[in-house]
Amino acid sequence: MVTKVKNYVRARSGFNTSDRVVVPLSEAVRELCLRAIEKARAEGRKTVLDRDFD
């Protein structure tokens, strides 16, 4: 996934991406997933759907 993110940043901006981006990016993805899990749980589902990501 890191390579895909680096490729995306380069394609969109021409910028390089530091290897140090992995930690904060992973934290951000985990936070988004936790929110989506809670939304699915609140709706009584055990499946996280695309609509659970705001």
18 pLDDT higher than 90: yes
**What is the reported pLDDT for 24?**
96
The token pair that represents 3 in the structure block: 């390579």
Residue 50 has pLDDT above 90, yes or no: yes
- CA 51 – CA 40 distance, rounded (Å): 9
| Lowest mean pLDDT across 1-5, 12-16, 50-54 | 1-5
Asked whether residue 54 carries a pLDDT value surpassing 90, the answer given is no
pLDDT at 1 over 90: no
Enter the tokens of residue 45.
């589902």
2: amino acid identity, one letter:
V
Angle formed by the axes of helices 22-42 and 2-13, to 10°?
A: 110
35: left (phi over 0), alpha (psi -120 to 50) or beta: alpha
Domain ranges of the chain: 18-54
What pLDDT does 16 receive?
A: 97
Joined tokens for residue 35:
């929110």
Kindly tell me if the per-residue pLDDT of 15 is higher than 90. Answer: yes
